[in-house]
Amino acid sequence: MKAIQLRNPDDARSLELVDTDTPQLREGEVLVKVHAAGVNRADLLQARGHYPPPPGASEIIGLECAGVIVDPGTTGRREGEEVACLLSGGAYAEFVAVPEGQLMPIPEGYSMTEAAAVVEVACTVWSNLGMLAGLRAGQTVLIHGGAGGIGTFAIQLCKQLGATVAVTAGSAEKLETCRELGADILVNYREEDFAEVLKGRCDVILDIIGAKYLRQNLRALNEDGQLIIIGLQGGVKTEINLGALLPRRLSIRGTTLRARSTEGKAEVVASTIENVWPLLADSRVTHHIHATFPLAEAAAAHELLDSGEVTGKLVLEA
């Protein structure tokens, strides 16, 4: 089959479509012909050699796709069934092997491209804000990077949960997109200190920055506030004042979807289908696609995402 690989392991831009082996199915996996694959920030890291796939996962880049089952293996699935897939890797290819628990239906009314744009963001946002944080109506949530792939989806989902939504982003245009998606409180992090604006008001923070924002995030939290860190774009190491946690009963938690076990991913996928898919079916929450590229032009897609000019998601098409 064809798949995207690095021609030169030291050059993250040298992504090329090359011939490689079609994946072998393991027990409980189906083979999917990929029609569309979403691009994630983690893919840029992996191309740079910074985010190696978990043990046993495909070495090929790509954490989500939509396509058609061409070999159901030992599962009871049907050949020809259209599916969206949460992956530990392997989406930037013609075929990918997928554990049955990571298959999702194509959301009602969605194209393959649209489906590939929502799998990773839906599972990430729901597992963190719904399953873990238990975000409730009337609470205030802060979403850093509101105009990103995660952010554009999180804003809409949090509004559906009845929360007041605050976001940060780096430009007025991006903040305007956030407002259109439903965000209530807009902070341009290049001009304002979000901790000053939101001091003591946030019940939950979905953070993609890490070290650089830790102190400010803790300041922004309300009593019983939860900081959930899913990205470390602002570094991993910093000083912490644990004394800040106790009187307000704050919590700090970090998670990665990719590192979860097959069972853990299946649990997230099942809960996301149950709780989020109905919201997609009647467009209460929608995909937000910035641009699409042919799979062969993965390098160009990565370059665009890296530029910081993207609002929402990029998708590669077969």
Which residues bind to a second copy, rule: CB under 8 A?
210-211, 214, 229-230, 232, 236-256, 259-260
> Of the listed pieces 71-79, 83-91, 229-237, 281-289, which binds ligand NAP according to CB under 6 A?
229-237
> CB of 196: closest distance to a second copy in angstroms?
22
Q: What does 79-91 look like in DSSP terms, one character per residue?
A: TT-EEEEE-SS--
> CB of 209: closest distance to a second copy in angstroms?
10
Give the residue among 106, 96, 127, 125 at the shortest CA–CA distance from 26: 96
Using CB under 6 A, pick the residue from 29, 100, 114, 120 that binds ligand NAP.
120
Q: Pick from ligand NAP, a second copy, none: which does 243 bind, CB < 5 to 8 A by kind?
A: a second copy
Judged by DSSP in three states, 309 sits in coil
Give the residue among 152, 42, 148, 150 at the shortest CA–CA distance from 91: 42
Contact call for residue 168 and ligand NAP (CB under 6 A): yes
Subset of 45-104 contacting ligand NAP (CB under 6 A): none
Using CB under 6 A, pick the residue from 149, 155, 225, 273 that binds ligand NAP.
149
> CB of 104: closest distance to a second copy in angstroms?
22
Subset of 231-290 contacting ligand NAP (CB under 6 A): 231, 233-234, 255-257
What's the CA gap between 255 and 296, in Å, rounded?
Answer: 32
How far is residue 163 from each of residues 103, 156, 256, 277, measured CA to CA in Å? 29, 10, 23, 19
Contact call for residue 198 and ligand NAP (CB under 6 A): no
What's the CA gap between 156 and 286, in Å, rounded?
Answer: 8
Give the residue among 201, 65, 214, 58 at the shortest CA–CA distance from 141: 201
3-state SS record for 177-208:
HHHHHCCCEEEECCCCCHHHHHCCCEEEEEEC
- Looking at the Cβ atoms of 31 and 206, the one nearer to ligand NAP is 206
Residues lying near ligand NAP in the complex (CB under 6 A): 40-42, 120, 124, 144-145, 147-151, 168-171, 174, 189, 208-209, 230-231, 233-234, 255-257, 305, 308, 310
